[in-house]
Amino acid sequence: MTPLLAELSAIAAKAFVAEGFLETLGFVQRSDRPDLAQFQCNGALSAAKPARLSPRAVADRIASRLRAVSIFSKVEIAGPGFINLDVRDEVLLARLLAFTADKNLGAPRTGESKTAILDFGGPNVAKPMHVGHLRSAIIGDSLQRIFRANGWTVISDVHLGDWGLQMGQLISEIGHRGLASVYFDRDFSGPYPAESPVSMSDLEDIYPAASAACKSDPSRLEEARLATAELQAGRAGYRALWQHFVNVSEQGLTREYGSLGICFDLWKGEASVEPLIGPMIADLKARGLATESEGALILPIDEPGDRKELPPLILLKSDGAVLYGTTDLATIMDRVRSYHPELILYVVDQRQHTHFEQVFRAARKASYTGNITELEHAGFGTMNGPDGKPFKTRAGGVMKLYDLITMATEEAEKRLSEAGFARDYPEDEGKEIARKVGIAALKFADLSNHRVSDYVFDLTRFTRFEGKTGPYLQYACVRMRSILAKAAEAGPAPEMRVILSTPAERALILQLLMLPSAMAGAEHNRAPNILCDYVFTLAQIFNRFYTEHHIMSEKDEGVRSSRLALVRLTLSVLTKGLNLLGIEVPDRM
């Protein structure tokens, strides 16, 4: 099923082409003035100038072609040359029937037989997560849901930061503390203990100490560098210790992401491409792409015509240690070989833009992308505290995901009790509702801004039941559910037969039919906020429908069952939209 907007655009595009204009001018969108029309096409305005015609003259020609197409009940020219369009009710109803019958609710199959690797999350082993990792996880998870729903085969990879300097810092700090001495004994030939000598909470304590020591004492930094290089070069005790850090962190992270409902297909990390790095370096050297510079090995990636200077990608430092860009480059090679993806999408902080530009150029230069793989960085801005700086906890420390979820749950509990919701429910259920509401508040607030904009963390606002929030939308679903439950008590569910006779019904049907277009737009722009706008508008339009119409008290049986069918469909569409944002709806509130 082609999304309605795409179908209307195709019709308009044909008209433009028939008049000798570009096809792309036929782009049709929802009208900015829903009181005047359902849809609009602004192509005549851009077509006019190069053709030395007035926009209205172009609009006239296009409009007269569109009037001949039976799908439209109205084709009008407005203002300087906008074309306003309405679709016939019968067409809307026929589409609604097909939409309802489709188990995918008309999802655009843009990803049919295509594979995308989504790289998001990206926490660093042993280091506490920060808001950037939270945003990456929330946005990345929503994108993986949207891509999958649109037919893509998605492979998500958390891509742990597990091969950098922080590893050497931890190792040398543990050495200083005299913990776990077998791992430092060069004569020990193994096997090393299966049990980790450090727990997650030990790591939470050791890492900040290690990093502080390296900041204040250059000799400690040097030690950490050396330990990193030795680890990467394969020193057995260090590798064994490192494996424990990774295992312990992974357990903690799986739990933390799990509590947000976020799953990854792959738990790979920077280190997983370690065996590929030697051969890759040899290959880059042999082909003359990598060169020595001041003891380091670099890959220049600047191109003629660059507006700003792009530094080369550093492959090896003078001590032989590999860097972030080296593992990212090898990871591209690995992913292309193993999965032949059409797309590798990185959902990572916008501040890493230059890094990705360097890595992508290097990959293309070395022909590691094959001929189908596109590389793309979908960057995002920061979540700031009220002071305008990246959000920190009250104690000023870096945020822990667990604490953040607790904060949001507590705030949600307050809001729920103010609203008189979940009052006499069993305690467990009340807690579970608060958790779902708290997480919905966090996720929706994050996703509803375009990903590149920064936004301010404001739990009080995020958890409100009024306005554009996650809790508002959850409540809308719960209310629809209770309407349907009451109806079910009164009698068996009627057949899906929709009668369209009022403006509020028409508006609701139109908005329901826009789901596939919203899904397509969110995928195309890597922008879940398009879906946030969609679900919010749907809930508002539903409210109008609900306020203006009788449902259960409607006398006419046909009309009553038609309205109930619309409630049921709105509930499925809203639930589906929220699911694509990673938001769960409680059964009741």
State the minimum distance, in angstroms, from the CB of residue 58 to ligand ARG.
Answer: 47
Write the CB contacts of 547 (distance below 8 Å, at least 6 apart in sequence). none
Nearer to ligand ARG, 351 or 414 (CB): 351
Taking CB under 6 A as the rule, does residue 360 contact ligand ARG? no
Taking CB under 6 A as the rule, does residue 141 contact ligand ARG? no
State the minimum distance, in angstroms, from the CB of residue 77 to ligand ARG.
Answer: 50
* 3 state DSSP class of 383: strand
β-bridge mates for residue 345, sequence order: 118, 376
Count of residues that bind ligand ARG according to CB under 6 A: 8
Query: What is the rounded CA–CA span in Å between residue 562 and residue 545?
Result: 13
Nearer to ligand ARG, 135 or 435 (CB): 135
Task: Among 21, 99, 163, 346, indicate the residue that binds ligand ARG (CB under 6 A).
Answer: 346
State the minimum distance, in angstroms, from the CB of residue 110 to ligand ARG.
Answer: 24
Taking CB under 6 A as the rule, does residue 223 contact ligand ARG? no
Taking CB under 6 A as the rule, does residue 159 contact ligand ARG? yes
Angle at 213 between CA 161 and CA 295, to 5 degrees: 60
Burial class (CB in 10 A: 0-12, 13-18, 19+), 502: middle
Instruction: Give the DSSP per-residue string, 11-44.
Output: HHHHHHHHTT--GGGG-EEE-S-TTT-SEEE-HH
Nearer to ligand ARG, 266 or 296 (CB): 266
Query: What is the rounded CA–CA span in Å between residue 399 and residue 420?
Result: 31
Taking CB under 6 A as the rule, does residue 470 contact ligand ARG? no
* 3 state DSSP class of 71: coil
Write the CB contacts of 551 (distance below 8 Å, at least 6 apart in sequence). 483, 487, 560, 563, 564, 567
Taking CB under 6 A as the rule, does residue 122 contact ligand ARG? yes
**Binding to ligand ARG in span 293-332, by CB under 6 A:** 328
Nearer to ligand ARG, 83 or 383 (CB): 383
Taking CB under 6 A as the rule, does residue 124 contact ligand ARG? yes
Nearer to ligand ARG, 348 or 539 (CB): 348
Query: What is the rounded CA–CA span in Å between residue 122 and residue 136?
Result: 8
First to last CA, the chain: 36
Nearer to ligand ARG, 159 or 468 (CB): 159
Task: Among 108, 111, 140, 161, indicate the residue that binds ligand ARG (CB under 6 A).
Answer: 161
Nearer to ligand ARG, 124 or 474 (CB): 124
With b for 16 or more beta-carbon neighbours within 10 A and e for fewer, the 40-56 pattern comes to: bbbbbbbbbeeeebebb
Nearer to ligand ARG, 86 or 157 (CB): 157
Using CB under 6 A, list all residues that contact ligand ARG. 119, 122, 124, 159, 161, 328, 346, 348
